Structure 1
Amino acid sequence: MTLYFVQAFIYLLAAVIAVPLAKRFGLGSVLGYLVAGVAIGPMLGLVGQETTTIQHFAEFGVVMMLFLVGIELDPRALWAMRVRLVGLGGLQVVLTVAAGMGLALWLGLPWQTALAVGLIFALSSTAIVLQTLNEKGLTKTEGGRGAFAVLLFQDIAVIPMLALIPLLALSEFSGDAGGAHHGSSLSLVDDLSGWSYTLAVVAAIAVVIVGGYYLSRPLFRYVVRSGMREIFTATALMLVIGIAALMSLVNLSPALGAFLAGVVLANSEFRHELEATIEPFKGLLLGLFFITVGAGINFEVLAAEWSTVLGLGLAVIAVKGLILLGLALLFRIRGSNGWLFTLGLAQAGEFGFVLLAYSAQNQVIAPETSQILSLVVAFSMFLTPALFIFYDRVVLPRYRNARNTEREADTIDEQAPVIVAGVGRFGQIVCRLLRANNVPIVVLDLEIEQIENVRRINIKSYFGDASRPDLLETAGIEDARLLVVAIDDQERALHMVRHVKHYHPGVWVLARAFDRGHAYQLREAGADDVVSETYHSALELGGHALTALGVHPLRAKQMTWAFVESEAAHEAELFEAWKEIEGGINFSPRYSELFMKLEESLSTAMNQDWEPPSLEVAPVWTPPEADEVPEKSPHTEGGSQGLGH
């Protein structure tokens, strides 16, 4: 038992150290987990043979991830994406299998082994790609949606791949497999005929779909009535584990079963609770899976075959990249989205390890070849975060610059006392308010889609980079009274504010800030008024939260005013303390002290006595019923004491 505790501590310690460092340097969490595994495995030798066993357990994180992917999909949405799912995903798998098989045949492998190699490298890493796209906020982009469609088809394609591999067995590898797969795992279909096996597979899938639709709701209602959250957690885990076990018993992909169950439960009233329950387990197991991938690298084989591993790894990425780039052009995924689609899917995936082990157990791939191919898969996965970094730092800036230079800025034929830079979700509201009060404005934006959107509602706007001094001059900055900086680019916003306040100090500059630090930077650059983009909306929602908990609406409004006044009273001191931090002091005790002082003043302001308004001032207000709101904490009750009618 002590050994298990020590091993668990080593794995968790490696993750705690490596992942935050990787995230801090912009490398992504996946690379952090892989590096942690290499450190505790091949480099330091802190973990050993148990890595393979732990990896099998950690693969369940992939199953949970696909369950969460499925639960976020409406079946109608799945049908709506059928063209890309089958067309884009199907072509990617078929073309990559053909290319991989051709390369393996050229290297002298038997056609059965070559086909298995093609199947292995046709798959990409669902875990790495989806997690990275989520972290970078690229899931909803054209490239992200295309990548998701391909990954989804690949996960579905694993089923026929697993069914095909046993048919490719080679007699010359029978003595090297170390035991057949069928004898080492529990299965209900090993001895069935072809028709019987087909019926068993259909029955298993039917159980998942029909049972998930008709039986899950009564089950979860029964569990919820118990009022015990841990039982709901146990039920959610039981559901996913049971589906994975059922799929494994009929030699199907557990991930596919979990995905189908997720799709079936996508419209369930328990959907969000299931997501919140499964998410922590998924994240931890996925991280453990990547650590075991790094820890399982055989450095002896790598040292002996490093040139082969390096060459094959780069060849896999290059060949898949060319195929993906061609498909991106065919399906009109263009520009930076095409490169995101290509670079994101160019690696091999975690299911490659599963197919490799399955192929070796079924005498399709020789053990020594399997070890080399396993290193190639891991190497390509190691390079994936680097490909995303290349996309962020090289591809995306070039396309942005190219987009800016390809289209000439519009000729600005009007001038106005107010210039608005940026008409996204923030700037549009400013423009509508000004227009409603008949204030003349000149609007500039670099996103042609945004320009077209505001033109549809009759707001005169021009395409162009508002941070360019010549465009500001043409828009009338010399005679303008007000400049509203609402662009969603922190560096360009700072550059614009500095330029205008230096050359046109008489122009009043209002600026949108991303967060408190950005607000301080804008103030230091000379902005006359700075508003954080989420500040007032968060205050408004906080006021509604207080009201929902029983605080009188006018009292809640008073509390939000007190919050604003308290922050304003300490703003100058905090700004000066922030300058010290920006000046090179990594840790400022003064800033922390001032922030704690701010929190104390907020608490004092919140607990001030307040008399309920008279009927002449405000109408009678009745607080929500107790069963309509969350149970109040003692602190909340104290804050609303004597309030209600």
Structure 2
Amino acid sequence: MAEAEILFDVLFLLLAAVVVVPVLQRLGIPSVLGYLAAGVVLGPYTPGPVIDAETTRPLAEFGVVFLLFAIGLELPLSRLRTMRRYIFGLGLLQVLASGALLAGLAAWWGLVPAVALMVGATLALSSTATVLALLVERNEAVTHHGRVAVAVLIFQDLAVIPILALLPLLAGKTHDILPALGLAGLKAAGAVVVIFALGRLVLRPVYAFMAASRSPEVFTAATLLLVVAVSWGTAEAGMSMALGAFLAGLMLADSPYRHQVEADIEPFRGLLLGLFFMTVGMSINLPFVAARGGELLGLTVLVMASKVAVILILCRLLGIGMVQGVQVGFLLAQTGEFAFVILDRAMGLKLLPASVGQSLMAMTALSMVLTPVLAKLGRILSRRRQRREGEALEPTGIEHLSQHVIIAGYGRMGRAIARLLTRHHIDFIALDENAERVTQARKDGLPVYFGDASLPGVLRSAGIDGARAVVVTVGAHRQTERTVATVRRVAPGVPVVVRATDRIHEAQMHKLGATAVIPETVEASLQMAAVVLRSAGIKEDEVEASLNAYRSSRYGKGKAE
């Protein structure tokens, strides 16, 4: 009978994950909220089937364990050194300042100081999954504000470790928060030293042996053993299993086995983490939340506005442009998925009353739902400020130029083209909508101006009538389409060379009248083919002739010569 009930629970959990989550994702709702919604449907506070959360909770805990392990894998020392200014500068200050401000609000709400500090630090965290999905969707992961946002998220992920380690200490009726923090820090430091020492001596030789066995299942089993063993060790030492998993990930972050390990754990992490969020959803009292909807919405807006204000102030103090600061602030305004982990653990330890925990979970979910709207608002406000800052950088007095090249977009590709044109003594004018990038280029004495190349007036001020060619390197598809269409309308006879991301984009550019379209994927494959041909002993002139012939057939007659 008991086995049948467990099978029934598993059946409905899988059914909810397969049906509810994909439907919500099609509506643009993050998968985390999809799993929460599936849990609410299966919980005791809604009609329909009811799942016993206690039977799935032990397995669901491993979702958090594998998530922390994956975060550790993503943080090799080289990456931490490269982004250290933003990670340990803006990231640290954001968690401290936002945490202190929100802890004050929590204390005003009636929580005792130690618990208020924990709640403030939890609400200061942002949603890594939601923000990264938005950045990737909008092709902004490698932009300046994208890198700043990712750096802050990295520190926030690190901050989860001491928060989780602090919970059992607070549950032990510790009244002085500083000794509790100090004890948590000492335990964490000791665990880091011991685990890393063992990792250096044992881990890499063991993985080398496993890799030499050429047995994928043994390699995967070794990874599972590592995660479970280190997590068990930290749990036995009185700390969280999540801390051990994070340290295990750090040990492998700089190893040559990192990518294979990451691929091996991905199915376990995704499934178990989804199971965890479903168990959290089962504990959300929907009638209670609905009865306090107005109050919770007001508190959510207050928390998000506080975080935006803190980030804007810190960006100003640290010399990060306000154009970037506005986008970063609105991107990171929400509370993250780790809040569900921390709040669920805090309620389990009786640190938070159920009503407070339910309210905070509802606020977290609501803030994540509002994130796409806020991100769009931040983008609009940022562009407005960027245009105001860029007014003095617009091209003026250069209409007399002739036989120059106009470069639309001064990113990495635009800068490379500009350097090659300069080497061959060909004049160019570059246009870009990033005011900070334009300002830096102008300081370097380069003819780079602020402007939207899809506007006829901007093109005329850049001397489009006398230009020998226009090169469009911007990455956004719609911006590229508008620019090509405008160039064709304003100067039909000027050659237009366009960057394309794939074959579909290439066909669209040809329809709009581009003279030559250079697909990124094709050029990368040609470079790889050239290396293979040379290694096979084909002569250099034959390799170049083959590449030029292919380019001529793809990009237009004479364009590759």
TM-score, normalised relative to structure 2 = 0.80
Q: Within 2, Cα distance between the matches of 1:115 and 1:463? A: 45
From 44, 47, 50, the counterpart of 1:48: 50
The letter of the residue matching 2:162 is: A
Q: Within 1, Cα distance between the matches of 2:392 and 2:350? A: 56
Cα 1:238–1:253 change in 2 (3 A) is: same
8 Å contact from structure 1 (residues 324, 341) kept in 2: yes
Q: Within 1, Cα distance between the matches of 2:370 and 2:95? A: 21
Q: Which residue of 2 aligns with 1:473?
A: 460
Greater C-alpha Rg: 1
8 Å contact from structure 2 (residues 94, 310) kept in 1: yes
From 398, 417, 425, the counterpart of 2:403: 417
The letter of the residue matching 1:64 is: F
How big is each residue's C-alpha offset from its partner over 1:25-52, in whole Å with a ceiling of 9 and x where there is no partner?
Answer: 5544444444454556589756533346
Q: Which residue of 1 aligns with 2:523?
A: 536
Q: Which residue of 2 aligns with 1:218?
A: 205
- For 1:52-451, list aligned pairs within 5 A: 53-54=55-56, 57-75=59-77, 78=80, 88-111=90-113, 114-129=116-131, 132-133=134-135, 138=140, 141-142=144-145, 143-159=148-164, 161-168=166-173, 203-392=190-379, 394-405=380-391, 407-412=393-398, 414-422=400-408, 423-447=410-434
SS at match of 2:253: coil
SS at match of 1:412: coil
Q: How far apart are 1:494 and its partner, in Å?
A: 2.3
The letter of the residue matching 2:394 is: E
Q: Within 1, Cα distance between the matches of 2:449 and 2:184? A: 64
Over the matched positions of the two proteins, sequence identity in percent amounts to: 35
The letter of the residue matching 2:464 is: I
Q: How far apart are 1:265 and its partner, in Å?
A: 2.7
SS at match of 2:518: strand
The letter of the residue matching 2:412 is: R
Q: How far apart are 1:216 and its partner, in Å?
A: 0.6
Cα 1:122–1:443 change in 2 (3 A) is: closer
Cα 1:157–1:414 change in 2 (3 A) is: farther
8 Å contact from structure 1 (residues 28, 132) kept in 2: no
How big is each residue's C-alpha offset from its partner over 1:560-595, in whole Å with a ceiling of 9 and x where there is no partner?
Answer: 7898799899xxxxxxxxxxxxxxxxxxxxxxxxxx
Q: Within 2, Cα distance between the matches of 1:124 and 1:148? A: 7
SS at match of 1:310: helix
Unaligned runs of 5+ in 1: 171-192, 570-645
Q: Which residue of 1 aligns with 2:559?
A: none
Cα 1:449–1:377 change in 2 (3 A) is: closer
The letter of the residue matching 1:60 is: F
Q: Within 1, Cα distance between the matches of 2:534 and 2:52? A: 54
Cα 1:559–1:219 change in 2 (3 A) is: farther
How big is each residue's C-alpha offset from its partner over 1:595-628, in whole Å with a ceiling of 9 and x where there is no partner?
Answer: xxxxxxxxxxxxxxxxxxxxxxxxxxxxxxxxxx
8 Å contact from structure 2 (residues 115, 351) kept in 1: yes
How big is each residue's C-alpha offset from its partner over 1:345-378, in whole Å with a ceiling of 9 and x where there is no partner?
Answer: 4333444344434444444333444333443344
From 497, 500, 504, the counterpart of 1:513: 500
More displaced, 363-372 or 517-526? Answer: 363-372
Q: Within 1, Cα distance between the matches of 2:551 and 2:14? A: 42
Q: How far apart are 1:430 and its partner, in Å?
A: 3.8
The letter of the residue matching 2:232 is: A
The letter of the residue matching 1:416 is: S
The letter of the residue matching 2:407 is: A
How big is each residue's C-alpha offset from its partner over 1:112-163, in whole Å with a ceiling of 9 and x where there is no partner?
Answer: 6545544543444455445655665555534314422540452243155225
Unaligned runs of 5+ in 2: 557-561
8 Å contact from structure 1 (residues 328, 341) kept in 2: no
SS at match of 2:497: strand
How big is each residue's C-alpha offset from its partner over 1:547-571, in whole Å with a ceiling of 9 and x where there is no partner?
Answer: 77x79689998997898799899xx
8 Å contact from structure 2 (residues 469, 495) kept in 1: yes
Q: Within 1, Cα distance between the matches of 2:317 and 2:443? A: 31
Q: How far apart are 1:228 and its partner, in Å?
A: 0.2
Cα 1:395–1:32 change in 2 (3 A) is: farther
Q: Which residue of 2 aligns with 1:484?
A: 471
- For 1:444-459, list aligned pairs within 5 A: 444-447=431-434
The letter of the residue matching 1:74 is: P
8 Å contact from structure 1 (residues 40, 47) kept in 2: yes
Q: Within 2, Cα distance between the matches of 1:257 and 1:44? A: 36
Q: How far apart are 1:384 and its partner, in Å?
A: 3.8
Q: How far apart are 1:401 and its partner, in Å?
A: 3.9
Aligned length: 545
Q: CA RMSD in A?
A: 4.3
How big is each residue's C-alpha offset from its partner over 1:239-284, in whole Å with a ceiling of 9 and x where there is no partner?
Answer: 1222222222223233333333333333222223222323343334
Q: How far apart are 1:165 and its partner, in Å?
A: 1.1
SS at match of 2:254: coil
TM-score, normalised relative to structure 1 = 0.70
SS at match of 1:472: helix
Q: Within 1, Cα distance between the matches of 2:458 and 2:234? A: 62
8 Å contact from structure 1 (residues 349, 381) kept in 2: yes
8 Å contact from structure 1 (residues 7, 47) kept in 2: no
How big is each residue's C-alpha offset from its partner over 1:525-545, in whole Å with a ceiling of 9 and x where there is no partner?
Answer: 222322223322223324546
SS at match of 1:154: helix
Q: Within 1, Cα distance between the matches of 2:181 and 2:391? A: 61
- For 1:531-570, list aligned pairs within 5 A: 531-542=518-529, 544=531
SS at match of 1:478: helix
Q: Within 2, Cα distance between the matches of 1:239 and 1:520? A: 49
How big is each residue's C-alpha offset from its partner over 1:361-399, in whole Å with a ceiling of 9 and x where there is no partner?
Answer: 44433344433344334433444454335445x344434
How big is each residue's C-alpha offset from its partner over 1:413-470, in whole Å with a ceiling of 9 and x where there is no partner?
Answer: 6522243223433334444444444444444334456557777998654443333323
Q: How far apart are 1:338 and its partner, in Å?
A: 2.0
8 Å contact from structure 1 (residues 71, 262) kept in 2: yes
Q: Within 2, Cα distance between the matches of 1:565 and 1:290? A: 54
Q: Within 2, Cα distance between the matches of 1:465 and 1:68? A: 40
Give yes or no for the alignment of 1:522 onto 2:522.
Answer: no
SS at match of 1:300: helix
Cα 1:535–1:8 change in 2 (3 A) is: farther
Cα 1:198–1:110 change in 2 (3 A) is: closer
